[in-house]
């Protein structure tokens, strides 16, 4: 009999972990969170205490886990090693209530890592739990309290998000900057030389005689042509040197998403899904990380591998400075075994693994080295009495270093100057240019964000967490606030309208405010602040802003159920009109273009006092409808609690088609051809409940 139970998040980890732990253990998965805030209401009381309910899937998982808990002596909660994972462990402990439990974490699924984790178990870190809880509640407060207001402002259902709306703002403002941009045409000149069959160039070095801070662009094309026609120049200075280029850091969650987007054309959501699968199969370390540094063990393994393959590792481990606010709970994302060149169960997984492996390997190899040469030339003939100078820059790779292992992923922005084989020149040398040409340039508008560059911007501004970026991108696109075309993000009209409705009305739309909130959440995690203080202060500010805005909102048809949002006219899947509230999700019948009685088991709202009461339930009202065949009938608005349907008798409710209560027969009678025909005839004239919505 198994004595211990290990609970992880993903079912994909079970097989690997079971093989490591052996038959004395049971391994089960929570399949993520088993509890969450309710879907149909705010779920946060006046004291800001969240209300947690088992999710639909969580009920089944909890029942199964309770049975396993009863079979073992001790439960090990091994959910992911981050705040979200800590919260999941806490929810499991609260629901399952095991007699003996402990918390353990590992960032790679290997024998060594799991055994080390078993020797370093601890209790649940409630500071991390409260930090995750604060984020969840803050997001819920903004979403549920601001979305109805934004919907009333725009006259259509929209949603606001504490971080999502800030990301939308960045896209919208970039779109507006592009729209307002006016291109400026300006000019320069370039001379081309050749020596022993090798061509090289020198560009006009615009001096303060021609440009200034107030007028940074040279716009005289004729004068630029004169400069391009110069041929005789003299060497004023020539300087040789060496330049080194270091490799980029191993992947964090953010840089992994960026690189995969650029190199593999994967959206962030897809990247995280593939990385999760690689992690669960034991091929990479934990991919949700903001640390750019490897563990000492990983460095030793990479160094040994590099020496064996003549790749020249650095003598001592490289380290990178983490971004401000980084948790650095575990190391950067890397292969669990650097010697494994190919891993993954699909071609996409293999491609992502290759990207992760090459980046980790390159990070601990020697710098690339270049021989550089900078030459300053001066024309012998002045132009308009002013000296004209040209500058030639060249470099040659002399030591590949880490470049032998890496591939371009464009997340490292080291300036890579183009090759320009400038020859060895001495001061005072006289040269004659072969040709010259005018360089016509145009200022370019700001580039639209890609998902990769927007993630980079969010991280640079310390907005949100890398683990949430994929969800943010997916939400903006699904709700049609932005669209993707050729990898670029375009702000849609609805997104621009929503952004305009929220800006200068809510503090959470301001980058400094949102950035500061991330710092407060970090303080909760480290025990330097409390849930009550951070969430309480933010909520008070939000209530103040909502109060100031509600007085100027268009009233429209205010939802009778929640009194907070406007009802919207829409159509059911059957094409029948009805009204719904985007805040509390209440639905109302349509009575000649106006909201009628409320559907469901909530308190009925009779906006039409003349409507007859349902004889069956005597609580809800009847409304007239038409079947698919065009036959009039009457139905109860209390559906699904009351599914009574009545015939039409000269514009008034007639006899009932059937009873709400439909007891099941002990044994269903066998249908004959006669009864089938009777049923078919009845279905042609009798409206069904599916006709209603």
Best CA proximity match to 605, nearest among 671, 561, 571, 574: 561
Which of 121-130, 181-190, 545-554 bottoms out in mean pLDDT, i.e. has the lowest? Answer: 545-554
Is the per-residue pLDDT at 2 higher than 50?
yes
Nearest of 113, 97, 90, 151 to residue 13 by alpha carbon: 113
Q: Which of 183-187, 234-238, 537-541, 560-564 has the lowest mean pLDDT?
A: 560-564
Question: For the segment 273-289, what is each residue's pLDDT rounded down to a tens digit?
Answer: 999 999 889 899 889 88
User: Into which CATH architecture does domain 253-362 fall?
Assistant: Orthogonal Bundle (1.10)
Considering 99-103, 144-148, 650-654, 680-684, the range whose residues carry the highest mean pLDDT is 99-103
Average pLDDT, integer, range 497-516 = 94
Percent of the chain whose predicted confidence (pLDDT) is above 70: 86
SS3 of 566-619: EEEEEECCCCCEEEEECCCCCEEEEECCEEEEECCCCCCCCCCCCCCECCCCCC
pLDDT at 259: 93
Q: How far apart are CA 210 and CA 196, in angstroms?
A: 34
pLDDT exceeds cutoff 70 at 675: no
Taking the domain 151-179+448-550, which CATH number applies?
1.10.460.10
Over residues 208-220, mean pLDDT: 93
Q: Is the pLDDT of residue 626 over 80?
A: no
Under 8 Å between Cβ of 442 and 183 = yes
Span 40-68, pLDDT tens digits: 889 999 899 999 999 999 999 999 999 99
Q: Across residues 527-536, what is the average pLDDT? A: 96
Q: How confident is the model at residue 689 (pLDDT cuts 50, 70, 90)?
A: very low
pLDDT recorded at residue 1: 55
pLDDT tens-digit series, residues 567-619 = 766 666 566 777 777 666 778 887 776 777 777 644 333 345 567 888 888 77
What's the whole-model pTM score? 0.73
Of 554 and 254, the one with more pLDDT: 254
The set of catalytic residues is 286
Per-residue pLDDT, 408: 56
Domain parsing of the chain, residue ranges? 4-124, 151-179+448-550, 185-246+368-442, 253-362, 567-691
Whether the Cβ atoms of residue 636 and residue 614 lie closer than 8 Å to each other: yes
pLDDT value, residue 134: 97
Does residue 556 surpass a pLDDT of 70? Answer: no
Placement of tokens 């339930």 in the chain: 617
CA-CA distance, 200 to 187, in Å (whole number)? 20
Sequence-ordered alpha helix ranges (H) in 309-372: 347-362
Three-state secondary structure call for residue 441: strand
Instruction: Reduce the DSSP state of residue 187 to 3 states and report it.
Output: strand
**Can you give 209-238 as a three-state secondary structure string?**
CCCCCCCCCCCCHHHHHHHHCCCEEEEEEE
- Report percent pLDDT > 90 for the chain: 63
Question: Does residue 657 register a pLDDT over 80?
Answer: no
Which pLDDT score, from 0 to 100, does residue 153 have?
A: 81
Vertex 121 angle, CA 120 and 122, to 5°: 120
Specify whether the CB–CB gap between 605 and 599 falls below 8 A. Answer: no
Q: State how far the Cα of 127 lies from the Cα of 329, in Å rounded to an integer.
A: 14
Higher pLDDT, 626 or 658: 626
Nearest Cα to 636, choosing from 665, 601, 663?
601
First-to-final CA distance of the chain? 53
* pLDDT tier for residue 660 given thresholds of 50, 70 and 90: very low
Cβ neighbours of residue 445 closer than 8 Å, sequence gap 6 or more: 177, 178, 181, 183
> Do residues 468 and 138 touch, judged by C-beta distance below 8 A?
no
In sequence order, what are the beta bridge partners of 378? Answer: 234, 389
> What pLDDT shows up at residue 10?
85
659 pLDDT exceeds 50?
A: no
C-alpha to C-alpha distance for 654 and 316, rounded to whole angstroms? 89
Phi-psi region of 56 (alpha: psi -120 to 50; beta: other; left: phi over 0): alpha
**Strand 368-379's sheet: what is its strand order?**
430-432, 232-245, 368-379, 389-399, 198-204, 185-195, 435-442
Q: Which of 350-359, 461-470, 582-591, 595-604 has the lowest mean pLDDT?
A: 595-604
CATH superfamily of 185-246+368-442: Topoisomerase I, domain 3 (2.70.20.10)
CATH second-level architecture of 4-124? 3-Layer(aba) Sandwich (3.40)
Render pLDDT for 371-420 as a digit per residue (tens, 0 to 9).
999 999 999 999 999 999 999 999 889 999 999 987 555 555 444 556 78
Apex 174 CA angle, 171 and 179, nearest 5: 125
Q: Which pLDDT score, from 0 to 100, does residue 327 have?
A: 55
CA distances from 521 to 44, 329, 531 (A): 18, 15, 8
Q: How much is the pLDDT for 642?
A: 79
Return the pLDDT at 597.
Answer: 78
Question: Is the model's pLDDT at 110 over the cut of 70?
Answer: yes
- pLDDT-derived band of residue 526, with 50, 70 and 90 as boundaries? very high
Measured CA to CA, the distance from residue 183 to residue 212 in angstroms comes to 19
Q: DSSP label at 463? A: -
């Amino acid at each position: 009999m198994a004595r211990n139970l290990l609970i992880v998040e993903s079912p994909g980890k079970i097989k690997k972990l079971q093989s490591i732990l052996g038959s004395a253990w049971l391994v089960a998965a929570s399949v993520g969170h088993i509890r969450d805030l309710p879907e149909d209401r705010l779920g946060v009381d006046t004291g800001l205490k969240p209300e947690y309910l088992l999710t639909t899937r969580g009920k089944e998982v909890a029942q199964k886990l309770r049975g396993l808990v009863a079979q073992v002596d001790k439960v090990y909660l091994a959910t992911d090693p981050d705040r979200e994972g800590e919260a999941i462990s806490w929810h499991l402990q609260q629901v399952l209530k095991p007699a003996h439990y402990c918390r353990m974490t590992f960032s790679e699924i290997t024998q060594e890592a799991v055994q080390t984790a078993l020797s370093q178990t601890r209790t649940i870190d409630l500071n991390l739990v409260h930090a995750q809880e604060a984020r969840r509640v803050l997001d819920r407060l903004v979403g549920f309290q601001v979305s109805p207001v934004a919907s009333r402002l725009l006259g259509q259902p929209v949603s606001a998000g504490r971080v999502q709306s800030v990301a939308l703002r960045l896209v919208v403002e970039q779109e507006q900057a592009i729209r307002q941009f006016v291109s400026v045409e300006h000019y320069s000149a370039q001379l081309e030389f050749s020596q022993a069959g090798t061509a090289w160039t020198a560009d006009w070095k615009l001096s303060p005689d021609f440009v200034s801070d107030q007028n940074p662009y040279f716009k005289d094309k004729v004068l630029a042509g004169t400069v391009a026609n110069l041929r005789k120049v003299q060497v004023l200075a020539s300087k040789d040197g060496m330049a080194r280029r270091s490799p980029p850091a191993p992947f964090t969650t953010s840089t992994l998403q960026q690189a995969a987007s650029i190199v593999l054309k994967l959206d962030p959501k897809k990247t995280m899904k593939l990385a999760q699968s690689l992690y669960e199969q034991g091929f990479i370390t934990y991919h949700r990380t903001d640390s750019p540094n490897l563990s000492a063990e990983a460095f030793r393994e990479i160094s040994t591998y590099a020496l064996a393959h003549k790749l020249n590792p650095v003598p001592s481990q490289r380290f990178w400075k983490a971004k401000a606010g980084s948790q650095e709970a575990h190391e950067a994302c890397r292969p669990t075994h650097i010697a494994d060149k190919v891993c993954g169960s699909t071609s996409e997984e293999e491609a992502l693994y290759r990207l992760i492996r090459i980046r980790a390997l390159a990070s601990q190899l020697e710098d690339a080295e270049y021989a550089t040469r900078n030459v300053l030339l001066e024309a012998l003939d002045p132009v308009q009495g002013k000296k004209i100078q040209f500058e030639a820059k060249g470099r040659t790779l002399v030591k590949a270093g880490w470049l032998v292992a890496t591939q371009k992923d464009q997340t490292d922005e080291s300036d890579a100057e183009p090759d320009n084989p400038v020859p060895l020149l001495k001061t005072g040398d006289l040269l004659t240019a072969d040709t010259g040409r005018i360089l016509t340039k145009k200022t370019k508008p700001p580039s639209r964000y890609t998902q990769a560059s927007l993630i980079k911007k969010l991280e640079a501004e310390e907005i949100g967490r890398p683990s949430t970026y994929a969800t943010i991108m997916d939400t903006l696109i699904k709700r049609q606030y932005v669209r993707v075309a050729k990898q670029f993000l375009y702000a849609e009209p609805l997104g621009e309208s929503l952004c305009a409705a929220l800006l200068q009305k809510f503090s959470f739309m301001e980058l400094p405010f949102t950035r500061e909130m991330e710092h407060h959440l970090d303080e909760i995690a480290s025990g330097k602040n409390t849930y009550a203080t951070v969430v309480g202060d933010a909520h008070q500010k939000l209530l103040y802003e909502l109060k100031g805005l509600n007085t100027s909102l268009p009233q429209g048809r205010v939802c009778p159920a929640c009194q907070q949002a406007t009802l919207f006219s829409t159509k059911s899947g059957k094409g029948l009109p009805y009204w719904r509230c985007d805040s509390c999700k209440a639905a109302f019948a349509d009575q000649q273009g106006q909201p009628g009685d409320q559907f469901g088991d909530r308190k009925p709202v009779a906006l039409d006092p003349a409507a007859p009461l349902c004889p069956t339930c005597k609580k809800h009202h009847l409304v007239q409808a038409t079947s698919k065949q065009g036959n009039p009938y009457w139905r109860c608005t209390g559906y699904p609690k009351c599914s009574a349907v009545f015939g039409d008798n000269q514009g008034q409710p007639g006899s009932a088609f059937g009873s709400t209560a439909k007891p099941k027969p002990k044994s269903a009678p066998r249908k004959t051809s006669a009864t089938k025909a009777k049923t078919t005839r009845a279905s042609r004239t009798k409206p069904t409940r599916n006709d209603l919505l």
